[in-house]
Chain A
Amino acid sequence: MGTEERDRGLKAQRMSVYRRILLEIEKEVQIHPNYADLQNQLGLLLAVRGDPEGAESHFLEALHLNPRYRESILNLGYLYIEMNRWKEAEDIFVSQVRKHPKDGFLRHVLGVFYFQAGNRNKAASHLRKAIQFHGYCRDYYQKIGVWKRGRVHFDQKAEKALKKIRLNYHTAQFHNFIGLYLAREGKPAQALRELKKAARLKPDEFVFHANLGTLYYHQGSYRKAIEGYQRALKMDPLYGMGYANLSYIYGLMRRTREALRCMERAVHLSPRYADLHYNLALLYSDRKRYGRAVSELKKALRINPNYLFARINLGVLYEDQKRWKEARREYRKVLQITPEDEHVRRRLERISRRRG
């Protein structure tokens, strides 16, 4: 079989996968018409298939169900640009920037939008703000020739690059969605191909790199997973779960010092996740930093008072420090919830006769 013939075969195979997924999502939407997620996904698939009216109606339905659905808002905004409905697109992006004035990604989108619409002054102003609020934008604009010697430039090279950004948005989102869909179906090789396409088309989208990191993590390719998460974190340094996932990977690689550093960062950025406090407590406890471990477990229990393992760990930590009374108190609480826990029962019996 020649290369051309093989490429044609692969393309036909991909098209058939896309058609199958479109049919499945259409069926899902019929069954669950009130799921904004599904409406948004169908809108995206239709937009890429070349049915902008169909796509618009599903994005609007998604926003009717959930007016704050950011992904759908952006999808609709981009769709209006594609349809040359500039005023509607501008309304969407401007209102988003008003709500989130320090969102670098939105500034970037609006900069590109004004450039496409021919308003270069407004474009330059938003692109400058994008650099201010989103560290990744400076490197990226430099690479495509938009940012030179501390100023925004719109030469031919920059124009070509900015036009490409606009055209790639839906296609990149589409490949990302297909990649996640195939990953859920247990087809990692195909999923990886789609996610890589998404990241190539839109290299400034941190979610694509984070998804690539997650897929590599699930596959056991830890070095590549670390690269994916690190890229994502460079674009969005506030992505707490990215640090948490890095920490788990370092744990698997027995690099616990780096695991600890990442988990501390994750907890700092996402302090409302009991699970992160729990994992940080394990890291402190393994290093015999008992005071900090106890403090993290208490935080986990404040967030989720039914966090059983956190309470068992807390009891064990008190026991390690010979704080028998507190250890007994925690074990008794655990046994009230799960009286059949033999490990905890044995621990309680062992320390019951001790004083203090």
Chain B
Amino acid sequence: MLKDDFVIQSEVRRVLVRSHIEYAKLTFGTVKGVVYIQGIFEVSRYYTDGSSESMIDFSMKTLVSLEKKIRGIPGVIDVSFKFLNWKKEKGQWVPRKEIEG
């Protein structure tokens, strides 16, 4: 069943503000149940040993969890992520090298 886009948009906002990510660096919209999120994806708090590998791993897990939460919002048909520093390749999240430096 198609839900109101504004209700979905409010749910997306709630997920983003509660996900320990830099919410202010993202913009998002909802079009007939399709959620668009774009900008720079950054985790606001890392629970790691501080090595770059563990931080990348932590960011990947956060992205997987974020995607799952947004797809789980009632009425969401699809999610389109357009991050400047991360992309999805064959179902896996990978950092975009050129932006990282």
Interface residues of A (CB under 8 A from B): 184-186, 217-218, 220, 248-249, 251-252, 254, 256, 259, 275, 278-279, 282-283, 285-286, 308-310, 312-313, 316, 338, 341, 343
Chain A residues contacting B80 (CB-CB under 8 Å) are 341, 343
17 pairs, CB–CB < 8 Å, chain A vs chain B? A218-B18, A248-B10, A248-B14, A249-B10, A251-B6, A251-B7, A252-B14, A278-B29, A282-B4, A282-B30, A286-B7, A309-B28, A309-B31, A316-B31, A338-B82, A343-B78, A343-B80
Q: Is the CB of B29 within 8 A of A312?
A: yes
Q: Is the CB of B4 within 8 A of A312?
A: no
**Complex Cα gap A310–B30 (Å):** 9
Of residues 1 through 33 on chain B, the ones whose CB sits less than 8 Å from some CB of chain A are: 4-7, 9-11, 13-14, 17-18, 20, 27-32
Q: Is the CB of A308 within 8 A of B29?
A: yes
Q: Is the CB of A279 within 8 A of B9?
A: yes
Which of A184, A256, A282 has the most C-beta atoms of chain B within 10 angstroms of its own C-beta?
Answer: A282
Q: Is the CB of B32 within 8 A of A309?
A: no
Q: Does B38 contact A (CB under 8 A)?
A: yes
Given A248-B10, A252-B10, CB of A186 within 8 Å of CB of B20 = yes
Report, as a range, how many residues of chain B touch the other chain: 20 to 34
Q: Is the CB of A282 within 8 A of B9?
A: yes
Q: How many whole Å from A205's CB to the nearest CB in chain B?
A: 23
Q: Is the CB of A254 within 8 A of B20?
A: no
**Complex Cα gap A185–B45 (Å):** 8
Name the one of A184, A252, A259, A343 contacting B34, with C-beta atoms under 8 angstroms.
A343
Chain A residues contacting B13 (CB-CB under 8 Å) are 248
**Complex Cα gap A285–B11 (Å):** 17
Q: Does B83 contact A (CB under 8 A)?
A: no
Q: Does B58 contact A (CB under 8 A)?
A: no
Given A312-B36, A316-B32, CB of A259 within 8 Å of CB of B6 = yes
14 additional contacts (CB under 8 A) given A256-B7, A343-B31: A185-B45, A186-B45, A217-B17, A218-B18, A220-B14, A248-B10, A252-B7, A252-B10, A254-B7, A279-B9, A282-B30, A286-B7, A316-B32, A343-B80
Chain B residues contacting A184 (CB-CB under 8 Å) are 44
Shortest Cβ distance from B14 into A: residue: A252
Which of B20, B38, B80, B82 has the most C-beta atoms of chain A within 10 angstroms of its own C-beta?
Answer: B80
Q: How many whole Å from A194's CB to the nearest CB in chain B?
A: 19
Chain A residues contacting B31 (CB-CB under 8 Å) are 309, 312-313, 316, 343
Which of B10, B38, B80 has the most C-beta atoms of chain A within 10 angstroms of its own C-beta?
Answer: B10
**Complex Cα gap A218–B6 (Å):** 18
Chain B residues contacting A310 (CB-CB under 8 Å) are 29
**Complex Cα gap A218–B38 (Å):** 21
Q: Is the CB of A252 within 8 A of B27?
A: no
**Complex Cα gap A343–B78 (Å):** 9
**Complex Cα gap A310–B44 (Å):** 27
By Cβ-Cβ distance, the 5 closest A-B pairs, closest first, are A309-B29, A251-B10, A286-B4, A282-B6, A282-B5
Q: How many whole Å from B33's CB to the nearest CB in chain A?
A: 10
Chain B residues contacting A282 (CB-CB under 8 Å) are 4-6, 9, 30
Chain B residues contacting A279 (CB-CB under 8 Å) are 6, 9
Given A186-B45, A309-B36, A338-B82, CB of A218 within 8 Å of CB of B28 = no
Shortest Cβ distance from B13 into A: residue: A248
Chain A residues contacting B36 (CB-CB under 8 Å) are 308-309, 312
Q: Is the CB of B5 within 8 A of A251?
A: no
**Complex Cα gap A343–B81 (Å):** 13
Which of B11, B20, B32, B82 has the most C-beta atoms of chain A within 10 angstroms of its own C-beta?
Answer: B32
Chain A residues contacting B28 (CB-CB under 8 Å) are 309
